[in-house]
Amino acid sequence: MRKKEIVDNFKNAKILVIGDMVADIYLNGNISRISREAPVLILEYTGEKIVPGGAANVVNNISTLSGSVFAYGLIGEDASGRKLKDLLEQKSINVEGLLADGDRPTITKTRVVAGGAATVSQQVVRIDKEPKIPINKKLETKIIEKLSNDLKIVDGIVLSDYGSGMVTTKIKKLIIEYCRQNNKVCIVDSRYDILSFKGVTYVKQNEAEAAKVVGFELLDEETIVKAGKILLEKLQAKGIIISRGEDGMSLFEDSGAVHHIPVIDKSEVFDVSGAGDTAVAAFILAIASGAKPVEATEIANFAAGIAVRKLGTATVSNKELQEVLGEYYGN
């Protein structure tokens, strides 16, 4: 079956990911009582864990999907940054492009998760630490110099822009122009500034992000199609992917083709955290492995469907994806 062959070929793909690397921290506690100081829960600390988030989640998913991956981004000279780098290194991910900046803390998103003997654990608050200053120009130059070499040896590039400044104007221009001149594929997932990526090969947006760009709500298939065509024209891309939650994904190609891809299983959606990163990882791997855009989007849709059935920022393995494809299409 062709899609399973494509996924099997992920192991031969080399992908470069550049973007805002995030350490997702999960701080767990058991509900003890209500505080006498204020109407808030008191939690007894039971432990914490750090998992790769943001662009690092894309990196992590490419690795678990069996692709080779080069990670580019900034971390701070702090415990969170060291732990994040260690987690990626343990998976044999190339982290030579992951540089430490003493002037910027590692981006962290700390989720406090509470539960009890008779209750389901759930997130009660999230605390974000995110630097708002431009990246160091010397580090930017160092990254660009290294990028110039690694772009030559990879099959695809992901620009994962969470708005923290890693994907600078110079870096965008270098990657987009290189891909256009050398017929390589790049995909961007940008939360706040998608129109600055004009000329990129593929674009991934969710409904809310796309609606903000086009200036109207995406209420139905008609408005989705209208938005997709506007984004294609504005960005001069080969394809626009709009993720639509429980309605799946829509792909708009520069040929004029429109594909609406439904969710395969709506029965078990536990957590959507990071599912978009999983979709981007699966899509770029599929394209790099010879898939047509619609095939790559379908594979990405399956991968995201696995991710949302897991709690927290999760990854999907190549084996899991193969099994789901086998169940749906038959072995």
The per-residue pLDDT string of the chain (331 residues; one tens digit each, 9 = 90 and over) reads 788 899 999 999 999 999 999 999 999 999 888 999 999 889 999 999 999 999 999 999 999 999 999 999 999 999 999 999 999 999 999 999 999 998 899 999 999 999 876 777 788 899 999 988 889 899 999 999 999 999 999 999 999 999 898 999 999 999 999 999 999 999 999 988 899 999 999 999 999 999 999 999 998 999 999 999 999 999 999 999 999 888 889 999 999 999 999 887 655 554 466 688 999 999 999 999 999 999 999 999 999 888 887 766 678 999 999 998 888 777 6
Token readout for 233 is: 């024209």
Give the C-alpha separation, 253 to 229, whole Å: 9
Digit-coded pLDDT (tens) for 295-308: 999 999 999 888 88
Residue 19 contacts residue 166 (beta carbons within 8 Å): yes
Token readout for 266 is: 């709506």
* pLDDT at residue number 1: 73
* pLDDT at residue number 267: 54
Give the C-alpha separation, 239 to 219, whole Å: 21
Give the C-alpha separation, 283 to 240, whole Å: 12
Given the structure tokens 């200053």, which residue do they identify?
133
Give the C-alpha separation, 164 to 23, whole Å: 13
* pLDDT at residue number 133: 82
User: Which of the following is catalytic: 24, 101, 189, 277?
Assistant: 277
3 state DSSP class of 124: strand
Digit-coded pLDDT (tens) for 118-141: 777 788 899 999 988 889 899 999
Angle at 154 between CA 95 and CA 285, to 5 degrees: 95
Kindly give, in sequence order, each residue whose CB lies less than 8 Å from that of residue 137, ignoring residues fewer than 6 positions away: none
Kindly give, in sequence order, each residue whose CB lies less than 8 Å from that of residue 145, ignoring residues fewer than 6 positions away: none
pTM: 0.92
Token readout for 26 is: 């999960």
- Inter-residue long-range contacts of 269-273, CB under 8 Å, 24+ positions, other chains counted: 269/308, 269/309, 270/308, 270/309, 270/310, 270/311, 271/308, 271/310, 271/311, 271/312, 271/314, 272/245, 272/308, 273/312, 273/313, 273/314
Kindly give, in sequence order, each residue whose CB lies less than 8 Å from that of residue 149, ignoring residues fewer than 6 positions away: none
Residue 17 contacts residue 69 (beta carbons within 8 Å): yes
Kindly give, in sequence order, each residue whose CB lies less than 8 Å from that of residue 117, ignoring residues fewer than 6 positions away: 30
If one counts every other C-beta atom within 10 angstroms of the C-beta of residue 96, the result is 10
78 assigned to active site: no
